[in-house]
A and B are shown apart, each in its own frame.
Chain A
Amino acid sequence: MLHPLVIDVSNLTKTYDGKTAVNGINLQVRKGEVFALLGPNGAGKTTTVEILEGYRERDSGSVSVLGFDPNSKVSKSAERMWRDQIGIVLQTTMDALDLTVRETLTHFAKYYSNPKNANAVIESVGLTEKIDEKIRTLSGGQRRRLDVALGIIGRPELLFLDEPTTGFDPEARRAFWELIRNLRDQGTSILLTTHYLDEAEALADRVAVINNGQILEVATPKTLGGRENSKVEISWIENGEPRSSFSDTPTATIQELAARLGGEIAGLTVARPTLEDIYLKMIGENL
Chain B
Amino acid sequence: MKQISTIKLGLARGALEIKQFNRQRESVVFTILFPVILLFIFGSVFNDNIAPGVTFSQYFVAGMIASGLVNSGFQQLAISIPIERDLGTLKRLRGTPMPATAYFIGKGIQVLYSMFLQLTLLLFFGTIFFGLELPTQPTKWLTFTWLIILGTASSTLLGIAFSVVPKSGRGASAVVSPVVIVLQFFSGVFFIFTTLPSWMQHFAALFPLKWLTQGMRSVFLPDSFATEEAAKSWEINKIAIILIAWLIAGVFISLKTFKWTKE
Contacts and interface: CB of A to CB of B under 8 A. Distances in A.
Interface of A: 53, 55-56, 76-77, 80-81, 83-84, 86, 88, 90, 92-96, 98-99, 103, 107-108, 110-114, 150, 154
Nearest to B24: A98
A90 B88 contact: yes
Contact of A113 (B1, B8, B87, B263): B1
Contacts of A108: 96
Nearest to B21: A98
A111 B95 contact: no
Interface residues of B, number: 26
B97 A84 contact: yes
Given A99-B16, A110-B4, A110-B9, A76 B99 contact: yes
Given A110-B12, A113-B2, A95 B99 contact: no
Contact of B84 (A76, A95, A112): A95
B87 A90 contact: no
Interface in B217-249: none
Interface of B: 1-4, 8-9, 12, 16, 19-20, 23-24, 84, 87-89, 91-92, 94-99, 261, 263
A108 B98 CA distance: 9
A107 B99 contact: no
B92 A90 contact: yes
A238 B9 CA distance: 72
Given A96-B89, A113-B1, 8 more contacts: A53-B95, A55-B91, A80-B3, A94-B87, A107-B12, A110-B12, A114-B1, A154-B97
A93 B96 CA distance: 15
10 contacts: A55-B95, A80-B3, A81-B1, A92-B88, A94-B88, A103-B16, A103-B19, A110-B4, A110-B9, A113-B2
Contact of A83 (B20, B89, B97, B261): B97
A22 to B, nearest CB: 16
A247 B2 CA distance: 61
Contact of B91 (A77, A84, A90, A113): A90
Given A107-B16, A111-B4, A111-B9, A95 B97 contact: no
Contacts of A98: 19-20, 23-24
B2 A96 contact: no
- Top-6 shortest CB links A-B: A93-B88, A95-B89, A88-B95, A98-B23, A83-B97, A111-B98
A169 to B, nearest CB: 24
A26 to B, nearest CB: 25
B261 A55 contact: yes
A198 to B, nearest CB: 27
Contacts of A111: 4, 9, 96-98
Given A94-B87, A98-B23, A110-B12, A80 B97 contact: yes
A96 B1 CA distance: 29
A113 B88 contact: no
A96 B8 CA distance: 20
